[in-house]
Structure 1
Amino acid sequence: MNKLEGAWRLLAWLRTTSKGDVSYPLGEDASGLLVYTSSAKMMVQMAAAHRLPLATSDPLGGSAEEQATAYSTSLAYFGSYKVAEGNVIHIIDRSSFPNWSETEQVRPYELRGDELILRTPPSHTGGITVVNKITWIRDKGPVGA
């Protein structure tokens, strides 16, 4: 068993910029689940708390505005992974953010006991550098399970 294998619950997704701005892209009370399997498969889903329901029972329905709000308050993808030189590499099959489908996303990581910290490599837009820090805690499941 590798040290990342298992389920992880989101503690925080923190975004910092070179200008000193700090934000929580899905809010300070976002939730999520990250799973690494023994067969090198992975999946992640994160969502803002208190998301508004759509005015439809069709999971693919709703107005364009409702869909945009729902899309912008969650992130999910699945694929496989590998660990190399202090990085976990997510080899993404499909993502709710289509630009990541069929890509590899490198995440430098730190493992401190039951806490896992993933970072994005610095990205540069308009002269500003952005780094995301996503902190997870190992999910040990329900007591007595």
Structure 2
Amino acid sequence: MNHLQVQGRWRLSAWRRTTSEGDVVYPLGEDASGLLVYTSSGRMMVQMTAAHRSLVATSDPLGGGVDERAAAYSTCLAYFGSYTVTDGKVIHNIEGSSFPNWSGTEQVRPYELSGDELVLRTPPSKTDGISVVNEISWIRH
């Protein structure tokens, strides 16, 4: 795959999290929405949100109660930066993220591209001895 093949806008089809025990979860729900953009200049951005998110009781995007902000934060993932495509992987060099631990990091995503569907996966990670892989499917938009 090269930059030209992934370049453009992609609509979220599904974000599935599969465990080594065979469990499948949809972190933002089966009806989540999202947009992934890869530009010709090597820039990228992504945002995914759960459907039916609760409103925050303020007009200030940085305001609201702690519980309201926590609920809003846990139903959205967004980041931006640059990207490269190499050796069966898309590498996201993250400059800023709603998940602060990713800001300034490199996130490697093995991929599959079939027609207008792009599937990105995270490398397996272990928590309490259970392996987890995130699979995020996108449809060209």
TM-score scaled to structure 1, two decimals? 0.95
Which residue is equivalent to 1:143? none
AA at the equivalent of 2:118: L
Distance 2:66 2:128 in 1: 29
1:104 pairs, out of 92, 106, 112, with 106
2:63 pairs, out of 44, 61, 64, with 61
Which residue is equivalent to 1:87? 89
Which residue is equivalent to 2:125? 123
Using the TM superposition, give the Cα deviation of residue 69 of structure 1 relative to its aligned residue in structure 2, in angstroms: 0.2
Give the count of matched residue pairs. 139
Q: Which secondary structure does the structure 1 equivalent of 2:40 belong to?
A: coil
Which residue is equivalent to 2:34? 32
Which residue is equivalent to 2:45? 43
AA at the equivalent of 1:10: L
Using the TM superposition, give the Cα deviation of residue 21 of structure 1 relative to its aligned residue in structure 2, in angstroms: 1.1
Distance 1:39 1:83 in 2: 13
TM-score scaled to structure 2, two decimals? 0.97
Using the TM superposition, give the Cα deviation of residue 19 of structure 1 relative to its aligned residue in structure 2, in angstroms: 1.3
Which residue is equivalent to 2:74? 72
Using the TM superposition, give the Cα deviation of residue 2 of structure 1 relative to its aligned residue in structure 2, in angstroms: 1.1
Using the TM superposition, give the Cα deviation of residue 10 of structure 1 relative to its aligned residue in structure 2, in angstroms: 0.1
AA at the equivalent of 1:34: L
Distance 1:20 1:65 in 2: 32
Distance 1:7 1:13 in 2: 17
Which residue is equivalent to 1:135? 137
Q: Which runs of 5+ in 2 are unaligned?
A: none
- State the Cα deviation string for residues 16-52 of structure 1 (Å, max 9, x = none): 0011111000000000000000000000000000001
